[in-house]
A and B are shown apart, each in its own frame.
Chain A
Amino acid sequence: MIGSVLRRLIGILPLVVLLALVTFAMLKLAPGGPFDAERSIPPEIARQLEAKFHLDEPFLTQFWAYLSGLADGSLPSMKRPGLTVGELIRTSFPVSLTLGLLAMAFALLTGVLAGIIGALRQNTIWDYGTMSLALIGISVPNFVLGPVLVLIFALGLGWFPPARWEGLSTMVLPAITLGAAYAAYIARLTRAGMLEVIRSDFVRTAHAKGLSERQVVMRHAMKGGLLPVVTFLGPAMARIITGTVVIEKIFQVPGLGYYFVQSALDRDYSMVLGVVTFYAAILMVMNLLVDIAYTYLDPRVELT
């Protein structure tokens, strides 16, 4: 077990570097550079800037300079003078992470609950109600849902502030907006998984030995019924990470996603490369964690 975890962890490193290389190549091949401003820069200054950011060196040397700068956090941002990529990530990532985790918590809580209700009360009004709601949740894009929630709960009823990121009350709407679609998916997956499990022999045995329905569900059925949800968590984390980009724009949250899009548009090579590398690493570690969780829930599965 520990051996395979280590092997997977070591396997992540070359992948992240490869991804960084692809991103870097993409940035370099695209026409235009970070310092093509409307205002033309005197050639000496342009040369100095290029030297400072290694732009005058051969491709691989440049790439290496960026990569090592990323590793020790000293790579300077091209468009935000005085800031390093490391500092930007350090200050803005916790914001995105909080948003993502809150959204995930919301999605898991409501999704699993709705899914269990749907499965236990199959083909009743409860089932149809929660599943219709889930389909609506999947179909309404979060950038439509966000503004609508703001319109109703912030501007109409005044329960929550419409934007910014200062304290818990400002986090409610962004987290719900981001989590809604995942709550819907999780509800459907939970329902399907639970329906399969509650018909199996071990659940019948649990019923037969006189456990209450609550105990059967909580102690026996849920473990197997939630397997599809756990598999979904890996890709969901990936999509929540990219999803924060939009949410941060709607609610003016100063998170990493917001800076990322800005930097991509500004051609801030160092920032873009930094964020992509950072996210890729996080994502792959997440996937590994999901796989580990899976082996605990289903002992038949082995970590490869």
Chain B
Amino acid sequence: MSEVVQGTSLWQDAWRRWRRHKVSVGSAVVLTIIVLFCAFGPQLVSLIWGWTYEQQNIALGPSAPSLSHPFGTDVLGRDLMVRTMHGGRVSLLVAFVATSVSLVVGVTYGAISGYVGGRVDSFMMRFVDVLMSTPYLLLVIVLMAVIPPNNVSFFGLDGSFVLMFGALGLVSWLVLARIVRGQVLSLKQKEFVEAAHAIGVKPRTILFRHIVPNTLGPVIVYSSLTIPSVMLSEAFLSFLGLGIREPQASWGTLVNDGSNAMVVYPWLLVFPGLTMALTLFCLNFLGDGLRDALDPNARKS
């Protein structure tokens, strides 16, 4: 009688650990709901009530939440729920694209630095150190303030988006580059890399086919924590009036409008603010759960 021992792969293991992290799973569910709400909400609303995010109704003005406007309306009589959904689309889009930019730059940079090693490595890491000690957000503020967004356009997207993707993506790759470099440094000593060398695989293939996929765990974990921080930076810039511009909206601009009118029309602050805080809360919890599942060594408890 032979018993087959079924091994569990790293990913199965992680999946099992993650499912045990109830709060993280709950956050994933809530996030999915929020994403669906933002993605399909505007069409539904326009089907049911006929509002769009830029449709004004000056005669109505700012009205409190009601059955036909569940989140109320803003000063120009625009339906706040559609605007919150639309703002969510923009905020989520910026967060995902900027994080992807930082992912590509950070992983490539860190992998090359760690793999090549020696002088090149210390020079590349010194550069990261220098960038880390600069007040980059001030530079982003300058950049966003001096470039008129109308001059840039990208696949029909408003220029302020493209600037946002680039600016936020290019400042958030630094930590990722360090993490990946550290991983690569230890991975390149492993036997499977030696084996690949021995059978004559090209260095570039070794790096990107064999080493980089093995850094995926920490990369996923860190990226899941980058998304909320990028989202926060976007909202920060939009709040200052330097990000997404009218009639487009993001959660940052909505909160800004809301905080200006909060005394008289508190719902203008409450709904976008709550939605955004809930999203950030879930993203952070999700990231925590992913870290516990994928990177058990980083867990401090």
Please indicate whether A and B come from the same complex rather than being unrelated chains: yes
The smallest beta-carbon distance between A266 and chain B, in angstroms, is 9
Number of A-B residue pairs at CB separation under 8 A: 125
User: In residues 132-156 of chain B, which contact A (Cβ within 8 Å)?
Assistant: 132-135, 137-139, 141-143, 145-148, 151
**B139 contacts A23, CB within 8 Å?**
yes
The answer to whether A151 and B266 touch (CB under 8 A), given A139-B228, A140-B280, A275-B138, is: yes
Partner among B143, B269, B281, B284 whose Cβ is within 8 Å of the Cβ of A147? B269
**Chain B count of residues within 8 A CB distance of the other chain:** 42
* Known interface pairs A276-B142, A279-B135; A32-B148 also in contact (CB < 8 Å): yes
How many residues does chain A have at the interface if contact means C-beta atoms less than 8 Å apart? 51
Nearest-CB residue, chain A, relative to B135: A279
Q: Given A26-B143, A151-B262, check contact A246 B240 (CB 8 Å).
A: yes
B232, A141: Cβ atoms closer than 8 Å: yes
Q: Is the interface of B mostly helix, strand, loop or mixed?
A: helix
Which B-chain residue is minimally distant from A122 (CB atoms)? Answer: B301
Instruction: Report which residue of A15, A139, A242 has the largest number of chain B beta carbons within 10 angstroms of its beta carbon.
Output: A139
Distance in angstroms from A134 CB to nearest chain B CB is: 10
- Give the CA-CA distance A136 to B145 in the complex, in Å: 31
B300 at the interface (CB under 8 A from A): yes
Most buried by A among B133, B232, B241, B242: B133
Contact of B133 among A22, A27, A195, A284 (CB under 8 A): A284
Name B130's closest neighbour in chain A (CB-CB): A15
Which of B92-100, B110-118, B188-196, B251-259 forms part of the interface with chain A? Answer: B251-259
| A241 close to chain B: CB less than 8 A | yes
- Determine which of B130, B148, B300 lies in contact with A195 in the assembled complex, contact meaning CB atoms within 8 Å: B300
Q: Is A111 an interface residue (CB 8 A)?
A: no
> Contacts A30-B146, A147-B259 hold; do A261 and B133 have CB atoms under 8 A apart?
no
With the chains together, A150 CA to B263 CA distance in Å? 10
Known A143-B236, A261-B141, A264-B142; contact A276-B135, beta-carbon cutoff 8 A: yes
Nearest chain-B residue to A276 (Cβ)? Answer: B138
Q: Give the docked Cα–Cα distance between A193 and B148 (Å).
A: 46
Which of A26, A135, A280 contacts B281 (CB under 8 A)?
A: A135
- Give every chain A residue within 8 A of B139 (Cβ-Cβ): 22-23, 26, 276
Residues of B within 8 A of A246 (CB): 236, 239-240
Selected A-B contacts with CB under 8 Å, 16 pairs: A19-B134, A23-B142, A26-B146, A135-B284, A135-B285, A136-B281, A138-B280, A141-B255, A141-B277, A143-B239, A143-B252, A144-B269, A192-B301, A246-B236, A272-B142, A275-B138
Q: Which residues of B line the A interface, CB within 8 A?
A: 130, 132-135, 137-139, 141-143, 145-148, 151, 228, 232, 235-236, 239-242, 252, 255-256, 258-259, 262-263, 266, 269, 273, 276-277, 280-281, 284-285, 300-301
